[in-house]
Amino acid sequence: MNVMTTCCVAGCGPAGALVGYLLARAGVPVVVLEKHSDFLRDFRGDTIHPSTLEILDELGLADRFLSLPHSKVSKLSIQTTTGQKVVMSLERLPSKFRFIAMVPQWDFLEFLTKEAARFPAFRLIRNAEVTGLLESGGVIHGVRYQDGAGEHDLEAPLTIGADGRASVTRAAANLPQVQAAAPMDVFWFRVSRHPGELTEVGLRLGAGLGLVLLDRNDYWQVAYLIPKGAAERVRQGGLDAFRTSIISVVPELEDRVAEISDWDQVKLLTVRADRLTRWHRPGYLAIGDAAHAMSPVGGVGINIAIHDATVAANTLWRPLLTGTIRESDLARVQRRREFAVRVIQAFQSAVQSQIIKPMLHASKPPSLPWVLRATLRVPVLRDVPPRLVAFGIRRPHVRSPAMLA
């Protein structure tokens, strides 16, 4: 069956859901294709940063969004087992939102798509897996997708690839890519959380091991950092050694590490960081992780994906509505976003090479780099790292219009 729309979006993660929302709000017919039937995938990013909250506020959605169950994080700490500690505070940010809202990603996406469904121009098709691009004469004019009823072609003057870091559309568009350094992989697991404990979320560093604890109200989502490719070695060491190593870095968890009773509870994330050097082809634009897979450092992937979506809608709503979309419009989106992505990836690389990599290969507890300790003590410098995490670079604002009240 062949169907036609104005903009087809592959993937309904944060980037796809928001660009779909914004374009439909401006009156552009948009179809978002999502390969899963729901958003219930565990161990996805949960951090909704101040600049994303500002964008929701500009759309009149922030109050409703913040009425969903969430926790607030306004301090990020890095602490070693020898007692060194630095704290980055979001409390001085020039924003109405001086905290990161911890909201499960499935709640965020359900919220956004439900709000988008108020616009007649928005359509989300679940269980629809994009398998390739439609192309003729070097111009991409839609996608082929598969659902329970078979294979379909969806024709559109613009396809937005928002299908994440293993993007099928990016591969089909054959866009040039560079890899960024990623010296680690991450195990994810959860253990229960007692009310009121450990109010600062952050990175704990021990000898050869780093743990990040994310507060999800009644449980901790824990990231266990390992050297790249070391997962099998850690598994072979056995669960007892795994649990003991957790206690060595976060002794507060001693009374509950027994909750980890099977390796099935411990999921592996192979960390990847890359970016396209060209985000577009005639009729096609990649955004979010599809254009630049982010390292988990700083938990900024959602924020950056949301910024891409906002800029894409700001730039493209008019040419899409008037039927005049050209590749130069798509190039403008890349120009407006690429610098910000490169700066954040460079910041992540610096954290990885200066803090995480030495720690993962150390046989004794690491020291925090003096540059970091000094930076966070100097009043004019101490807010730079939290600002970078909270806002990214060149944080965008919503410029696309609302056609409906």
Ligand X SMILES: Cc1cc2nc3c(=O)[nH]c(=O)nc-3n(C[C@H](O)[C@H](O)[C@H](O)COP(=O)(O)OP(=O)(O)OC[C@H]3O[C@@H](n4cnc5c(N)ncnc54)[C@H](O)[C@@H]3O)c2cc1C
Q: Which is nearer to ligand X, 154 or 290 (CB)?
A: 290
Under the binding rule (CB under 6 A), the answer on residue 12 touching ligand X is yes
Contact with ligand X (CB under 6 A) among 168, 203, 260, 285: 168
Instruction: Please select the residue that binds ligand X; options are 61, 68, 269, 388, rule is CB under 6 A.
Output: 269
Q: Is 225 in the site for ligand X (CB under 6 A)?
A: no
202 binds ligand X (CB under 6 A): no
Instruction: Tell me how far, at minimum, the Cβ of 253 lies from ligand X, in Å.
Output: 19
Rule CB under 6 A: say whether 43 interacts with ligand X.
yes
With binding defined as CB under 6 A, does residue 104 bind ligand X? Answer: no
Within positions 179 to 198, which residues make up the interface with ligand X, using CB under 6 A? 188
Nearer to ligand X, 134 or 321 (CB): 134
Backbone angles phi, psi at 225, to 5 degrees: -85, 135
Q: Smallest gap, in angstroms, from Cβ of residue 261 to ligand X? A: 21
Interface residue with ligand X, options 7, 10, 56, 156 (CB under 6 A): 10
Whether the Cβ atoms of residue 389 and residue 301 lie closer than 8 Å to each other: no
C-alpha separations of 170 from 40, 167, 208, 284 in Å:
24, 5, 36, 9
Rounded Cα gap, residues 181 and 404, in angstroms:
45
Q: Which of 23, 133, 226, 300 binds ligand X (CB under 6 A)?
A: 300
Considering only 6, 9, 14, 319, the residue that binds ligand X (CB under 6 A) is: 14
**16 part of the interface to ligand X, by CB under 6 A:** yes
Contact positions vs ligand X (CB under 6 A): 10-16, 33-36, 43-47, 129-130, 162-164, 168, 188, 269, 288-290, 294, 296, 299-303, 305
